[in-house]
Each structure stands twice: as C-alpha cells, then as structure tokens.
Amino acid sequence: MNANTASRKLLSLICIIGGAALIIASLVLDVMGDGAPAYGFRGAMLVVGIVALLFGLYLFPTLKYHRRLIYIIFLFPLLFTFAVTVIIPLCLGIFYSFTDWTGIQYTQFVGFGNYISMFQDPQFIWSILITFVFVVINMILVNLIAFLLALLCTNGIKGDGFFRAAYFLPNLIGGIVLGYIWQFVFNNVLINLTKTSWLVQTPTAMTAIVVVYIWQYAGYIMLLYITGLTQVPKDVLEAAQIDGANARQTLFQVKIPMIASTFTICTFLTLTSAFKQFDVNLALTGGTGSVANFMGKYLTSGTQMLALNIYNTAVSKNNYALGQAKAVLFFIILACVSLIQVRISNAKEVEL
Amino acid sequence: MVGKERRTRAAILTVVGILIAVYVLFPFYLVVLNSFKVQADIVSSPISFKGASFSQFVSNLSSVVNNSNFNFWRALFSSVVITVISLALLALFGAMAGWVISRNNKTKWATAIYLIFIASMIIPFQVVMLPLVSTFRDAGNFVGIPMLSTIPGIIFAYCGFGGAMTVFILTGFIKGVPYDLEEAASIDGCSPEGTFFKIIFPLLAPVITTVTILNGMWIWNDYLLPSMLLGLNGKYKTLPVAVQSFVGSYVKQWDLILTAALLAIIPMIIIFLIGQKQIMNGMIEGAVKG
C-alpha cells in the first residue's frame, strides 16, 4: 500500500512537471517562431502537455483537494469550449462593431458610425420591416394551424400516430434542402396553376416563404399542443361533461385555459425561430425580389430578411464591421424578446 | 343516432387528416418521382410518371454521387463523424458539468456558471459567427492546431454552442437524483469520479437520449456554422453545405438537384423510421424544458 502511494506520487510529479514543460516549450516555440504557423508537433505537444498536467494533478494524493480538483477537471471541457466559441467572440464582436474591422484586422474606432450608416440604408430598414411582418404572420398562422392539427389528432381518429409522424416529418429536414425542394415545387409544379412563379414577385415570394415555413414548423408545434391537450386531467373533462358542457364550451372554457403555458411556450418558440429564419430564405429565394420604391430607392433584395442581410453584408459584400453591427442589433432585439417572455411566464406562474 | 353522427364526424375528420397528410408529403413524393427522370421530362410533366425509369434513376444517382462538388459519400462521412463525435462529447461533458453544478448548487460559483449558461442560450449564432472565424484562425495559429476547415475545429465549436442547452437540461435532471446514493458510495470508499461514472452516469440514460436527439437534429441539419467554419469549397463539407455548393454550380438542373436532395434526406428519414417515438418525445421534452 505504502509503496503504491509512493510510486503514485512519483508518477504524479513526473506528469505535472513533464506536462508543464511541454506546455511552456510549445508556447515558447510559438513566440520564438518567425510567425509562420508550424502546425503539427507544436499543437500535439500542447495537447499532450495539458493532458499530462491534468492527469498528474488527478493522481496527486491529497484527499482534501481531490474533490475540488475533480470538479475543476469536470467543468473544464465545456467551460473552455464555451468561452472560446461563445464568450470571447461575443465580446470581440461587440467591440468590432465600433471599429472598421475587415474580418482580419481593424485600424481605427468609428464610434457609432456603423450603427448610423445601417439605418441610412433603405435595404436594411426594408429587411427589418419584412422580418417583423414575417414574424407576426407566422406566429399567428403557425400556432393556429398547429393547434387545429393537434385538435384533429386528439379527436380519436383512427391512425393518429401516422398523422402525427407525417405532419412532423418536414421538421426533420434542414432548411437548405427543403428550400430547394420547394423552389422546384413553385417554379416547375405550381407554375401550371399560377402562370408566373410565386418566387418572382416580392409579395408572392414572401408568401411562399411563409407557406414553406408553416409546412416545416407547424408539425412540431402541433406535437407540443398535443402534449398539452393530453395532459388536461380526465376528471376535469368529466366534470365539464357532467355539468352539461358541449364540445365547444369544453374547448374554449376548459381546455384552452388549462394549456395557457403551452401557448406561451409555442408562441415564443415560433417567434424566435421565425426571427432567426435563414436557411429557407437563402435556398428558396436567395433574398431576391424587386421593390420599386422604398424610401426613394429601388431595392433588388425584396425578400432578404434580417439574418440573410447580416450574412450578405459581411460575407458577400465583405463589409464585416457593418455586418457585425447589424448582428449586435439583431442580438439586442432577440434579448429583449426573451426578457419579455421570462416576464410573461413568471407573471403567469404567480397567477396560477 | 348519436353513434351514427359520431361515426360520420370521425369519417370526415379522417378524410381531412388524409388530405393534409397528402399535402404535407407531396413535396417528398415529387422529389422521389422526379429523381427517376431526365431533365426534359421533369420540366414537361413534373407530376406524372411519364419518363420515369429505374435505369434513369441509377444514371442520375451515379452522376450526383461522383460529382466533385457534391461528393456524397465524403459529405455523408463528414456529417456522420461530426455529428456522432459532437453528440458523444456533449453528452459526456454536459453530464460532468451538470453533475458538478447540481451538487454545488448552493455555492456562488456554481450558480454563476449555471446562470451564464442559461443567459447564453438567447445569443443568436449571427452575432458571434464573424468574430468566431477570426478567433478560430488566431487561436489555431497560436496553439499550432488548425481550427478552421478541420473536423476537430467544428466539433470544438459544437461543444461550445451545444453546451448551454445540454447543461441546462442535464442539471435539472441530476438535481432530482437522490444524494443518498452518492453518500453511500462515498462511505464505501468510492472516489467522487468513480461515483459519477459508476453510479450517476448510468442513471442519466433517458435524459441523455433527450439531449442527444435535440442536439442531433440541430447539428445534422445545421448549415450556417459549417458553412462559416468549413467553408463552401473547403476540404470537408457536411451534407447541407454539399447540397448548397452543388446547387450553386448546377442551376436549374433539376434531375441532379432533386436526386441530391433525395440522398441528403434519406439518412434522416431512416433514423426517424427507426426511432420515431423517441425523436418526437425528445423534441417535446426539449421544448418544454427549454
């Protein structure tokens, strides 16, 4: 037992010292290097070094700190990836939105310059406008259709399992693929009924995006309503029946009030997801569509919603700082919506 | 009388249900049907069986699969590797972090970490995507491990982005696991890490299924993140990225595009047919908890 502990201590020390040495050596190589990234053994050295250091610390035989150490090791992977992919880019992004960042470097601060210039661009105002219209229309239509589908599927019809699965199916497929499939449907199939394709004119093209979005999303929201409806207690429904309530009264005065929380969840799910809509927008219309006169300008991207506008500003037009500023605004709007949601759900819970 | 009325009503509802199902499934039918045809027949009669033949399907299939922009097997392989490894790491790391947070939920630091994770769930990808690319480029140069256009890099990013929701759901579940179990193990001389892996982790199977379904649906279908980190013409492409770059180079070639779309949706349909119940339940639980 004693020898075991001693050898363990030795191994632990070797790992700690070796690991630290490897980490320092790889960092020194990095700083000393002539700038050209020598991939390969430098990265491997660093990873081996970190693993060895952590392993050494893990073996280190002090019972008192052991638990705390395990906690640190257990939290480390997620916290580290989270910091590198979310926290650091978020802070940098907010910072870059006040500079003339090019995606690689920045030379000077421009204050609120990016924020001012984006509001002078009619195309961007248009994007905000149609995004809000899109969100409101979808929030109403998706919830209404999904709720009706849920009523249909919980009405004791035969094969409701099949119907649920069928209605949910489009939700499994990514927006890019769906967008192209529907582009085909509008341009080659429905064109026989509509004469000109819906995707050509801006208003019909926006309608097309709404149709595809409902087709994709209503099945999922329906599942949530079905869950809500089936969780309404049986005895409450029986009581309503004994009191002589008809089907409509049961629906409006018992079921709907009892699934109020489901309505809140579904409303905000559709709201945030419609607001972030990108894939279908890109694949179905690519943002194209003309607008004859908006704020005195002719627009060529009539169906370009906010998320796509941000992407195009940065990636296609290569204006990273402006795109980043738009993204920060996008984030602020979403954060406000989410705060309102938290407020509403909390208020509801107090009532109940 | 009442019974008859009810039966007619049920019949009407069933018909309505079938009509809606036909509408919902119709685009899928078009995809399958038209990948059996040549371009000319697709354009002239997209709904009918005219011109559909199995040999044409094989020919469409081979020209899509071997296309250098689509490269189906390679894209499928990248998608599977990225999704599976990300899901496994998220489940493991998420459970580890969730366990630590829920067992220290009275301390300030654990509460702070938990709140930061929850708050970060409202951050849209758009606000971090541009600096993410530059951060990954710089970090990759600094540590000597390339992070852009590589599979480890994108898996790293998915662990970072999926972490918050995973930890949120897992922490909620682990809080409900009785602490007595761990105390008993600890008295028997089990180390904390042993307790976690031998006792807690196996108990998490149902909730890990839920987070895996939620993360899996998102990662498999995600377009924006891989298009930013892997690039549209990079060495590795996930299936959505491959479809986008394929369509970009074959505008209006519907015989090829629809066959590519068919290939891209088949894996998900197969998985759905196998695990239908679990997938639908997972999506419901995720929404209700999130």
Calpha distance B260→B282 (Å, rounded): 28
Tell me the three state secondary structure of residue B263. helix
Nearest to A310 among B126, B135, B166 (CB): B126
In which region does residue B144 sit, left (phi positive, over 0), alpha (psi from -120 to 50) or beta (all else)? left
Q: Is ipTM > 0.85 here?
A: yes
Round to whole Å and give the CA distance between B62 and B48: 23
Residues in chain A closer than 8 A to B167 (CB atoms): 78
A163 vs B contacts (CB less than 8 Å): 17, 20-21
CB spacing of B127 vs A328 below 8 angstroms: yes
Q: Which of B43, B160, B257 sits opposite A180 (nearest CB)?
A: B257
Which residue in chain B has the smallest CA separation from A151? B13
Among chain A residues, the shortest Cα distance to B118 is held by A338
What's the CATH class of domain A117-351?
Answer: mainly alpha
A154: helix, strand or coil: coil
Retrieve residue A12's tokens: 């632990």
Element (H, E) at A11: helix A2-32
The pLDDT score that the predictor gives to residue B113 is 94
Determine, for residues B126 and A227 on separate chains, whether the beta-carbon distance falls below 8 Å.
no
How far apart are alpha carbons B49 and B54 in whole angstroms? Answer: 12
Q: How far is CA A336 from CA A332, A342, B289, in A?
A: 6, 10, 20
Contact (CB<8Å) B34/A92:
no
- What pLDDT score does A296 carry? 79
CA A263: distance to chain centroid? Answer: 20
The pLDDT assigned to A28 comes to 77
Domain ranges of chain A: 3-96, 117-351
- Residue A296 is given by DSSP the state T
Chain A nearest C-alpha distance from B55 (Å) = 23
- Among partner residues A67, A164, A276, which is closest to B192 by beta-carbon distance? A67
pLDDT tens digits, chain A, 352 residues: what are they?
Answer: 455 677 777 888 888 888 888 888 877 777 666 555 555 677 778 888 888 888 887 777 666 678 888 888 899 999 999 999 999 999 999 999 999 888 888 888 888 889 998 999 899 999 999 999 999 999 999 999 999 999 998 887 778 888 999 999 999 998 899 999 999 999 888 888 877 888 888 889 999 999 999 999 999 999 999 998 888 888 888 888 888 888 888 888 888 888 888 888 898 889 989 999 999 999 998 888 888 878 778 888 889 999 999 999 998 888 999 999 999 999 999 999 888 887 887 776 555 4
Inter-chain CB pairs, A–B, below 8 Å: 270
Return per-residue pLDDT of chain B as tens, 290 residues. Answer: 457 777 888 888 889 999 999 999 999 999 999 999 888 888 888 888 877 888 888 988 888 888 888 888 999 999 999 999 999 999 999 999 999 999 888 899 999 999 999 889 889 999 999 999 999 988 888 777 888 889 999 999 999 999 999 999 999 899 888 888 888 888 887 888 888 888 889 999 999 999 999 999 999 999 999 999 998 888 899 999 999 988 887 777 888 889 989 998 999 999 999 888 888 888 888 777 65
| pTM as predicted | 0.90
